[in-house]
Every structure is written in C-alpha cells, then in structure tokens.
Chains A and B, each alone.
Chain A
Amino acid sequence: MAQSTDHLVDQIAQLNAARNLVLGDAAFYPQIVNGVLPLIGASTRLELRRWGSEFLAETFASPALASTQKEQLAPNVLQTLREILELPEKDPMVLKHIVQNAASLYPLVFRHIINHPAEATAWENMTAIKQDILRRWDSFPFPVKICCIKFVQRVIHVQTHGPIADPRRPEQNETSLAIVPRNHAILSLPNLEAEASGLLDRLLSVFQEESSDPLLVNATLNCLAVLIRTRPSVGNKIINAIMNFYPARQVRAPITPSVRVGVKSMERTARAVMINILKRNPNHPLAGKMQQYIDRLMQSRIEVADEASRKRGLPTEPTDGLDNTKRAKLDAETPALIKVPPLPPGPISYSQLFTLTEDRELSNFDVKQLPTDIVLKIVVPLLGRVDQSMMQQSIEAIRMRYQTIQKQQAAQPPAAPAEAEDDDDYEPEYQPMDIPEPAAEQAEAVSAEVADLQPDLVSLGPFVLPQPPPLTEDEAADIGRSAVGRVFGMLTSTGVAPNPAKGKSQQQLGFARLAGSTFDRDAWVTLLTRLATRAPAGLEPGSGKVEKGKAPISDSIRETLYRYILEDFRGRVNIGIMWLNEEWYNDRMQMEFTAQHRREEDEEVTVPLHYDHWVLRLLDGFLPYLDSRDTKIFIRFLSEIPEVTIPITKRVASLAKDPERVNLCIQSLLYLIMFRPPAREMCLNALEDVYDTYEESRPLAGKLLAKWRPKKTEEQQQQQPEGQHTPSQTPQSQSQQQQQTTLASRPIESSESNTPLTNGTDDNPNPTPPPPPQPQSQPDATPTTT
C-alpha cells in the first residue's frame, strides 16, 4: 500500500510536470492530452480521475488553446468522459469537472458535427453525456448541481438562434442554431429548439420555487446575462422571469445571519444582471420595468435584510402580532401614495384644478398641439394600463379640491351670487369675445382665461385674517409686561454684550449720536428707561385713581428696572443714574406741559411725579448693602443724580449710624458740599446733624464744619425742627407725600436750566451745557408743602 501511495505521488508529480509544460506552451496540448487520457480513465484510482477530469476541464476551457485544436481533441476525450460518467461516477469532484468540461465541449462538438455530419460518434457520445447529466441533475450533490446549471445554459445557448455576424465567413459566427443547415443529417432543428426551450423553463423554475437556495439562484442569475445579451429570442422571457423574482419573499421565519447573506446576495446579483443588460442596451424595450425592478429590489432589501439585522437585538416573537417581516410585506404591497400639490392661492382655472403634477414644463404643455389621432393612440393604451389605485387617488384628490372651492364660493358674500353659483353657465358669454376658436376644444383654456378676467367668478379670494377681539386692559398689561420681561431676559443673557469699542465710537459720534442705536446692552437699557418714563406720560390716570393691584405698565417696568439694578448695584449704578435722569426730566416736562394747558378754574391739577419716589427707593434699596469700600460708587451716584433733596441727605446721614460707614457718609457729604453748590446748605445741615447725633463722627465732621460753617451752634438751633420728623417718617409715606406734590407748590423751570448734571450716560435729545447752579431753596422747599 505504501508503495502504491508512493507510486501515486510520483505519478501525480509527473502529471503536474506535464501540466506545467502545456501551461507554458499550449502547442504541447495535443501530445499531452492524448498521452494522459489512458492514465486517468474510468478504471483508474480516484486521485488520478480527479486530476484527469480537472486537467481536461482546464484544457477545454483554456483560452490559450485554439478551438480548432480543441475540436480535434474532443472525440477521444468524450469517449473517456462518457466511460467515467457511466461508471457510475460518484465522486463530486470528478463529476463537477466532467460537467464543467461537458459545458465547454458541447459547443465545440456541436460545431464539429455541423461541419462534419459523418463523424457521428462524437455527437453520440456528447448526447449520451448530456442525457446522463440532465437525468441526474436533480440528484447530483450540490457542487455538481451548480455546474449543471452552467452546462444547461451552454446547451440553451447553442440550441437557440444566435446572431449571424457575417454570412460570408461562417467560421466566425457564434455557435448556435443559426449556423445549422436546415437539412442536416443528424441535427434536427425543431427538436433541438424544443429541447432548449424546455431546458430554459427548467432553468428558470428556480425563480418560481417557494424557497430557493441562494447558491442556485445566484449561479443561474450570473449565467443568464450572456443569454439575454446574445439570444434576443429568449431574452425577454428570461428578463420577465427574473423580474417576477423577489428574494425578500423567500425569507422564512427564523432570519438567521446566513439567510440574510443569502437574500442580500440574490438581490444584489439580480440587480447586477439588470444593470448589465441596461448598460449594454439602455434602449431595451423593458428598460423602464427593469429600472423599477431594481428600485424595488433596493427598497425591499432595506426593509427586510437591513431592517431585520438592525433589530436583531429585539425579542424574536412578534409583538402585537406585527413582526418585522409582516410589516415589511405590508409596506411593499401598499401602492405608492400620489402627491397632491396644494392649489395656488387666489382664483384658479380649470386646468389648475385638474393639474396634479408639479412639473412646470409638463403643465405648460399644450395638448392641442397634438393631432387627435395621436392623442387617441396615446390615451387609449394609457387608460388600459392605468393603475387602479392611482386613478382612484387622483379622482379623490380632484373631488376634494372641487368641493373645497364650492364651499368657499358658497361662503363668499352674496355680492355676485349668480356668478358664483354655476360657472359653466357663465362661459359661453365670454367665449365669443375672448377666443375666436371653437369652444368645445377649448374648455380648459377658456375657463382659465375667464377666470383670469373675472377673479370673482371662481375666486377663492384672498384670505383676510379676522380682527382679533379687542384686548382687555388686563390682557394688554399682561402682554406688555411679558414683552418687558423678555427684554430684561435678553439684558441678563450673555447674548447682548456691551459694545467693547463703546467709548471710542461714542466719542467719534459726538453730538450726532442717537440713543439706543447701537443695539448693544446699553441701547436696550435706554429703551427700557424711556419706555418706563416717557412713553405712557399723560396716558396714566392721576395717581390718586390708581386702584390697588393694578399698577400701570410703566410702574411695572420701573419695578423691574429697580430690581434689575439692585441685583448688582455696583455694576449697574450707571443704569440707575440714567434712569433717574430720565425720570427727573420727564417730571419736568410733564409739569411744564400741564402748566401750559392749565385752565384758571382747576387749581388742583396734579402731575404724578416719579423721581423723588424712585430715587429714595433705590437709595433705600442699596444703602444697607453699601460698605466702606463703595465710596467711589456712592459718591458717583450722589453727584450724578439730577437732584439732591433733603430726604436724600437724611438717608446719607443715616449711614453714620454704622461706625464703619461714618467715613463713607462724611466723605459723600463733603463731596456734595464741595462740588454741588445747590445742595451745599442741605448737606451742611445734614452734616451738622451727624455731628450732633453720632459721636464717632465728631473728629471728621468737626473739622469740616469748622471750615464750612464756623458758627455751628446757631445753625444747629435752626435746623433742629426740620431734623426731628425725618427719622420717624418711613420712606413710603415720605415718597407718597412727594409724589402728591401739588403743581402749584413746585416751581417750574425752563427746560434748559433744568437739564440734569449728568455726563457720560446722558443721551438727552437736547444736550446743553450744564446749567448754572440752582437756587438752593428750590429742592428744599418740596417736602414742606403738602
């Protein structure tokens, strides 16, 4: 046994050497093939049969060996092959190669018998091999079955009519029925053709089976392309068979990964066949359908294979009776919904009413240009082929449109009721005038033009939004407040940053500058302060009539501003100053206005004044939080608010209660004494007060008093009564008092002289130089009169 194995190895090695020889030079093929044949015959060992069948298959497939040589070699080989096959051979490897070889040999032998009808043995052997293969096709093991597909394809290829490239040179023509003479001794054309037709049906049956193996399907698909391409007589039959094949339909319950691989491969292969045909022949009569088929394949693949793969993690049992495969199928069978574009606004024509396409070119196409007989030729087959559901949908869509229009017309004011009722009646009147052509053909165009001329006729009319119900005052106030709230929201958000180049740009702008034109944070603050002060001036009822809980919008803005400043009074003191300046200016303007329009009889006209109230409130708001380091901010505030009143000085003086803030108090007062002459006396009084009340202030205050008011004791006596009532008064009552200040008691100054002493933040419309110092008595007089 060992020896025979060695012997076998040697023999195989020899054979391989021979093979290498012919691979190197195909001229040796006849010698080698004839020499090898006896070694690999039916009675030899399996290894040798395997090698031999493979070698022979390779030989007859090789492009290096000319087909005339193959033809000459074929008869001998056929005999051997037939013997092996009828052994009966059981080894799939050998069988596989024999079937492969048979596929290569068949056209050769066929061609040979056409040209040499006398040499019948070769054809006889070939036929025997063919019959044997076809008989055992279904029982062959898998790999052989695959090769059978290819063999059958070859047989069909040969036994159908192929193209005749050049009748003068028959040797160049493809081997097919077309080159078989009608009176051939052995070959009977009708029989061969019938056999081919039967084999083709058998080949295509793989697409109709309930569940096909992807291997067989792919093998079939991949060999059909050449048939479709070169055999037009059967091409359409094959294409139709493929187009009725949907791999996704073959998916069965357990979708294993290998099932997915199979489905995907069948889809892609079917697509590849279609694309291959379309590429070669884009004008193929079935091109449209093939394209549709490709699209549908893609779609179903996405649904079944991929969808399922992504949902692999989910439980496999169907939830609520709808598992993925079922759903996918439902989707696939639902007809495509047609898209109904909305009608254009305004009056519409009949053609617009019936137009469902959005293609502008298409809707502009004038059908009248076509002669009637052509239209007939187009329309009749079209109607025959129209998709039922599409048709239904379209009709439904038009009906809906028409009903909507009818309703709208019915709802139109009865200005032209007769016209709106029935537009059909209306048409004839206009036809003779507008269109000279016969009316019957022109229905659409006519109505279109009529509609253009008579907008009311089929008019939808422009839609006018009805007036909203008037807002109640509460609602208006609420909406106003929410608007203000949003502006504040924007201020606090980081979105609106103060303009970094602010100082510079302002200098450049100079007098040409406008308030709130830069759209940065400052601009919005300006807007808000003006909104609070000027906008509602004169609209508000007298402060006496204000009911509780119904604060006017301006007060709510003020309240919000107040809170906004207090949130960070050190950073926002600027805003406070700006705001208070606006308040004060507005108060002046109001008073002036009222004074001008005042009639003799009503003495008691009052103007709601806001400055005094809000300056004290703001001061009270942040005073508790001031500490000794805030000197600069506080002094800035005091120096830049437009008016210093006695209550203000009292508030400042109260700072001295806290030993730590004595310094702050005295320095602020000193600043006002030095640089704000109109308030000097008030401040000196306050200082004296501080000196008298708080011992800690004595050293500092004493020094100042010695400088500014040498005769301290006398003055102190005079100031006493005024200072008495202040501590007891709550800020609230005081402000009430000041708000109610009668107009008569409050002196009115000219607007020029009234301009506040502000600097950078000033954006008054009339920027004037700082006014001359006010008479000191003026602010002092206010609180005393009630």
Chain B
Amino acid sequence: MAYDPRLSSAGTATAPSPPPPPPPPPEAMGTTTPTTQPQPTSTPNEANNNMVAESESSSSSSYKLRFCTVCASNQNRSMEAHLRLSTASSPFPVISFGTGSLVRLPGPSITQPNVYNFNTTSYSQMYDELLSKDERLYRNNGLLNMLERNRNLKWGPERFQDWVPGQPRVEHVSKGDKGALGTEGGVVDVIITCEERCWDAVVDDLMNKGSPLNRPVHVFNVDIKDNHEEALVGGKAILDLANRLNEAASQERKTSGVDGWENGVGEARQNFDARVPDILAEWQEKWPHLPALWTLAWL
C-alpha cells in the first residue's frame, strides 16, 4: 500500500488517513441519501456541490474519454502529451506515467546521467538540483524548461508499474494537477505510450496485474523519438488521436441514448470500440512518420 509516499504526505486516499478535503460532512450524506431520495437538495454544502456539478454537467454534455500517457521517464514525451491533452480547448482527463526503472535525465556526459527515483522526487526538486549544478548546461539542453513545464502540470514522475488502477486519485484533483479532473476514480479508457518498448512494458504489466477491474482499456503506441522537437509533434498527434477517439465515443453515447442503439444509422450505429482500428488507421494515414500500434487490454 505504501506505493506512493506522497499519499502519506498529502494525507489522503488510503482508508485510515485523515479526512479528505473536498466532500461534504459524511453525516449529512449518510443520512440524507437513503431517505430523501429524489428531492432537489438545498443542503449547506452547496459550494462544494456546485463545483462538482459544474464540472459534471459540462462533462455530461460533452463526454470525455479518460487518457493516460506513458513514456520511459514520465518527463518529455508523456508530459508533453499530458500538457496537450489537459490544456486542449476542451480538456481531457489525463494522467501520465513512466515505465523505466528510474527517471533518467541527460547529464554532463552520456555516462553521467542524472538519475532519480519515481514517485518520490518532484519535478521541482529536480529543477532546483539541476539549476544549482550547472544552470548554463541545463538551460541550453532544454532540461530546465522541460522541468518547469512539468512542475506546472503535476507533482512528480510516476511509475506505471506502481500504478494501482482503480485506486482513487482524489488528492491529485485537490493538488491541482492538470488533467486530474475526471480521473478521481483512478481508471482510464485509453493508454497512449510513446515508444514500442513502453507499449510492451504496459501490456505486459497489465497482464501481470491480472486485470482486477475487469475493465477494457485501449492501449496505443505512438512512436515518438525522445527529443523536444519530436515530443512537440508527437503531442500534437496524440491530441489529434484523442479527439478522434473521443468523437467516436461521444457519438456512441448519443445514439445509444433512450432511443436505443438499434435506431442509430450508418457509422454512428457502430460502437466506439469496434471503430478503434479504423480510427487508428485513418489517423496513421495523416501521421505516417509516427508508427502506431494498438491492442485492447484489461485494467
């Protein structure tokens, strides 16, 4: 359970920890919900509810798939994609991970990389350390810029293999992680890796986890070279893929509304899952230099 030290510092998520920050007093909920069922509430916790309601109403009008971006160190490619997805005009819920054993950043020479632990080192710590080590070097190779971007997105790099799907991520919302809204449940619909090695690692790890959630997840790979320029292009491409997927998913939700799935016509009648290969093929035609891969795995 001690997989993420931040949990203890943030003081949430695990059952015995101190009370969670946002929700209303439990007594009120506990008593009101079972008895007063369908009545419109005017409970004292309106402020909180409104906040949630706002986000929920906007998301119910426009359905959002939940995404997870993955690269080796959760620094460059996955974070660029994280940024893109979470700051798009209609932002997506997104979390991000690295599949490496350690976070590796380039150092003064190829044999002296800067190495950090996943989950326990924040982007800010890395930023400060590199700044004090050799500002000129790390300014010029773009590392400081990258860390600056990352620390505005979330606290620090997380390791995919340490992720427990379904483990609530409420504290990430309260900490203001970008893209955290909608990922409170700790599940995603789509995982996008940025390198075949990572895709292999993700698919393998999901098999090892034994799919306790029984929940399907589409795992894509979009092969992106690990440099800043390619990461920018790749981020754009991933956003494009996300938009296409989300389009199909919300179409499915609309057509299969009250009227039912049978009344849909043409492409809309086809469901989201079945359309994924076509969507990816279409996307690949537009981005031929980012070879893609896909499978349907289980969380």
Are B277 and A261 in touch, CB under 8 angstroms?
A: yes
Are B273 and A150 in touch, CB under 8 angstroms?
A: no
Specify which chain B residues have a CB less than 8 angstroms from the CB of A92 in the assembled complex. 252, 256, 261, 271
Specify which chain A residues have a CB less than 8 angstroms from the CB of B37 in the assembled complex. 38-39
A61-B213, A215-B274, A269-B295 are known contacts. Are A24 and B33 too (CB-CB below 8 A)?
no
Are A261 and B29 in touch, CB under 8 angstroms?
A: no
Nearest residue, chain A, Cβ from B59: A16
Are A151 and B214 in touch, CB under 8 angstroms?
A: yes
Are A276 and B208 in touch, CB under 8 angstroms?
A: yes
Q: Mark A339-355, 1 if CB is under 8 A from B, else 0.
A: 00000000000000000
Are B298 and A93 in touch, CB under 8 angstroms?
A: no
Q: Which of A3-11, A165-173, A360-368, A763-771 contacts B (4 or more CB under 8 A)?
A: A3-11
Residue A36 lies at the interface, judged by CB distance under 8 Å to chain B: yes
Residue B265 lies at the interface, judged by CB distance under 8 Å to chain A: no
* A interface residue count range (under 10 / 10 to 19 / 20 to 34 / 35 or more): 35 or more
Are B30 and A31 in touch, CB under 8 angstroms?
A: yes
* Cα–Cα distance between A158 and B93 once the two chains are bound (Å): 34
A23-B170, A64-B166, A273-B207 are known contacts. Are A258 and B296 too (CB-CB below 8 A)?
no
Q: Which of B12-20, B82-90, B98-106 contacts A (4 or more CB under 8 A)?
A: B12-20
Residue among A36, A39, A63, A275 facing the most chain B CB atoms (10 A cut-off): A63
Are B168 and A23 in touch, CB under 8 angstroms?
A: yes
Residue in A31, A223, A276 whose beta carbon sits within 8 Å of that of B204 in the complex? A276
Residue in B20, B29, B298 whose beta carbon sits within 8 Å of that of A223 in the complex? B298
Please report which residues of chain A, range 281-340, place their CB below 8 angstroms from some CB of chain B when the two chains form the complex: none
Specify which chain A residues have a CB less than 8 angstroms from the CB of B296 in the assembled complex. 146, 215, 218-219, 222
A17-B52, A46-B258, A91-B261 are known contacts. Are A275 and B204 too (CB-CB below 8 A)?
yes
Residue A690 lies at the interface, judged by CB distance under 8 Å to chain B: no
Give the number of chain B interface residues (Cβ < 8 Å).
Answer: 78
Give chain A nearest CB distance to B262 CB in angstroms. Answer: 8
Specify which chain B residues have a CB less than 8 angstroms from the CB of A23 in the assembled complex. 168, 170, 184-185
Specify which chain A residues have a CB less than 8 angstroms from the CB of B287 in the assembled complex. none
A20-B22, A24-B22, A93-B256 are known contacts. Are A218 and B211 too (CB-CB below 8 A)?
no
Nearest residue, chain A, Cβ from B171: A24
Give chain B nearest CB distance to A444 CB in angstroms. Answer: 48
Are A11 and B38 in touch, CB under 8 angstroms?
A: yes
Nearest residue, chain A, Cβ from B270: A142
Specify which chain A residues have a CB less than 8 angstroms from the CB of B281 in the assembled complex. 256-258, 260-261
Are A272 and B204 in touch, CB under 8 angstroms?
A: yes
Nearest residue, chain B, Cβ from A6: B40
* Cα–Cα distance between A10 and B57 once the two chains are bound (Å): 9
Please report which residues of chain A, range 73-95, place their CB below 8 angstroms from some CB of chain B when the two chains form the complex: 90-93
Residue B272 lies at the interface, judged by CB distance under 8 Å to chain A: yes
Give chain B nearest CB distance to A40 CB in angstroms. Answer: 10
Are B261 and A12 in touch, CB under 8 angstroms?
A: no
* Cα–Cα distance between A750 and B97 once the two chains are bound (Å): 98
Q: How many A-B residue pairs have CB under 8 A?
A: 221
Specify which chain B residues have a CB less than 8 angstroms from the CB of A214 in the assembled complex. 277
Are A61 and B212 in touch, CB under 8 angstroms?
A: yes
Please report which residues of chain A, range 204-223, place their CB below 8 angstroms from some CB of chain B when the two chains form the complex: 213-215, 218-219, 221-223
* Cα–Cα distance between A104 and B298 once the two chains are bound (Å): 13
Residue B26 lies at the interface, judged by CB distance under 8 Å to chain A: yes
Are B29 and A26 in touch, CB under 8 angstroms?
A: no
Are B298 and A64 in touch, CB under 8 angstroms?
A: no
Residue B23 lies at the interface, judged by CB distance under 8 Å to chain A: yes
Specify which chain A residues have a CB less than 8 angstroms from the CB of B145 in the assembled complex. none
Nearest residue, chain A, Cβ from B45: A17
Residue A199 lies at the interface, judged by CB distance under 8 Å to chain B: no
Are A20 and B184 in touch, CB under 8 angstroms?
A: yes
Specify which chain A residues have a CB less than 8 angstroms from the CB of B260 in the assembled complex. 90-91
Residue B137 lies at the interface, judged by CB distance under 8 Å to chain A: no
Residue A196 lies at the interface, judged by CB distance under 8 Å to chain B: no
Residue A18 lies at the interface, judged by CB distance under 8 Å to chain B: yes
Residue A487 lies at the interface, judged by CB distance under 8 Å to chain B: no
Residue A610 lies at the interface, judged by CB distance under 8 Å to chain B: no
Residue A32 lies at the interface, judged by CB distance under 8 Å to chain B: yes
A36-B33, A91-B261, A100-B215 are known contacts. Are A265 and B277 too (CB-CB below 8 A)?
yes
Give chain A nearest CB distance to B184 CB in angstroms. Answer: 5
Are A150 and B214 in touch, CB under 8 angstroms?
A: yes
Give chain B nearest CB distance to A222 CB in angstroms. Answer: 4
Specify which chain A residues have a CB less than 8 angstroms from the CB of B266 in the assembled complex. none
* Cα–Cα distance between A577 and B41 once the two chains are bound (Å): 118
Are B298 and A142 in touch, CB under 8 angstroms?
A: no
Residue B257 lies at the interface, judged by CB distance under 8 Å to chain A: yes
Specify which chain A residues have a CB less than 8 angstroms from the CB of B14 in the assembled complex. 64
Residue A226 lies at the interface, judged by CB distance under 8 Å to chain B: yes
The SS class assigned to the B binding surface is mixed
Are B280 and A7 in touch, CB under 8 angstroms?
A: no
Nearest residue, chain A, Cβ from B206: A222
Are A35 and B184 in touch, CB under 8 angstroms?
A: no
Nearest residue, chain A, Cβ from B54: A13
Specify which chain A residues have a CB less than 8 angstroms from the CB of B204 in the assembled complex. 272, 275-276, 279
Are A62 and B29 in touch, CB under 8 angstroms?
A: no
Specify which chain B residues have a CB less than 8 angstroms from the CB of A265 in the assembled complex. 277, 293-295
Specify which chain B residues have a CB less than 8 angstroms from the CB of A273 in the assembled complex. 207
Specify which chain A residues have a CB less than 8 angstroms from the CB of B141 in the assembled complex. none
Specify which chain B residues have a CB less than 8 angstroms from the CB of A27 in the assembled complex. 15
Residue B203 lies at the interface, judged by CB distance under 8 Å to chain A: yes
Residue A58 lies at the interface, judged by CB distance under 8 Å to chain B: yes
Specify which chain B residues have a CB less than 8 angstroms from the CB of A21 in the assembled complex. 20, 23-24, 26, 29
Are A24 and B278 in touch, CB under 8 angstroms?
A: no
* Cα–Cα distance between A26 and B41 once the two chains are bound (Å): 24
Residue A716 lies at the interface, judged by CB distance under 8 Å to chain B: no
Specify which chain A residues have a CB less than 8 angstroms from the CB of B252 in the assembled complex. 92
Give chain B nearest CB distance to A8 CB in angstroms. Answer: 9
Are B15 and A61 in touch, CB under 8 angstroms?
A: no
* Cα–Cα distance between A218 and B276 once the two chains are bound (Å): 12
Please report which residues of chain B, range 275-299, place their CB below 8 angstroms from some CB of chain A when the two chains form the complex: 276-278, 280-282, 284-285, 292-298
Residue in A13, A63, A225, A279 whose beta carbon sits within 8 Å of that of B167 in the complex? A63
A17-B24, A25-B20, A261-B294 are known contacts. Are A219 and B216 too (CB-CB below 8 A)?
yes
Residue A147 lies at the interface, judged by CB distance under 8 Å to chain B: yes
* Cα–Cα distance between A6 and B252 once the two chains are bound (Å): 24
Specify which chain B residues have a CB less than 8 angstroms from the CB of A17 in the assembled complex. 23-24, 29, 45, 48-49, 52
Residue B253 lies at the interface, judged by CB distance under 8 Å to chain A: yes
Are A226 and B261 in touch, CB under 8 angstroms?
A: no
* Cα–Cα distance between A90 and B264 once the two chains are bound (Å): 13
Residue A117 lies at the interface, judged by CB distance under 8 Å to chain B: no
Nearest residue, chain A, Cβ from B34: A35
Please report which residues of chain B, range 35-74, place their CB below 8 angstroms from some CB of chain A when the two chains form the complex: 37-38, 40-41, 45, 48-49, 52-53, 56-57, 60
Specify which chain B residues have a CB less than 8 angstroms from the CB of A401 in the assembled complex. none
Residue in B185, B280, B297 whose beta carbon sits within 8 Å of that of A218 in the complex? B297
* Cα–Cα distance between A100 and B189 once the two chains are bound (Å): 14
Give chain A nearest CB distance to B264 CB in angstroms. Answer: 10
Are B13 and A64 in touch, CB under 8 angstroms?
A: yes
Give chain A nearest CB distance to B250 CB in angstroms. Answer: 12
Residue in A6, A31, A142, A276 whose beta carbon sits within 8 Å of that of B274 in the complex? A142
Are B273 and A146 in touch, CB under 8 angstroms?
A: yes
Give chain A nearest CB distance to B205 CB in angstroms. Answer: 9
Nearest residue, chain B, Cβ from A51: B60
Are A142 and B273 in touch, CB under 8 angstroms?
A: yes
Query: Nearest 7 CB-CB pairs, A to B?
Result: A24-B20, A257-B281, A13-B53, A35-B34, A103-B214, A225-B207, A35-B33
Partner-A contacts on B (CB < 8 A): 12-15, 19-24, 26, 29-30, 33-34, 37-38, 40-41, 45, 48-49, 52-53, 56-57, 60, 164-168, 170, 184-185, 187, 199-200, 203-204, 206-208, 210-216, 252-253, 256-258, 260-262, 270-274, 276-278, 280-282, 284-285, 292-298
- Can you report 12 residue pairs joining A to B where beta carbons are below 8 Å apart? A14-B33, A16-B56, A20-B184, A23-B170, A28-B29, A62-B167, A63-B164, A215-B277, A218-B297, A219-B298, A272-B295, A276-B204
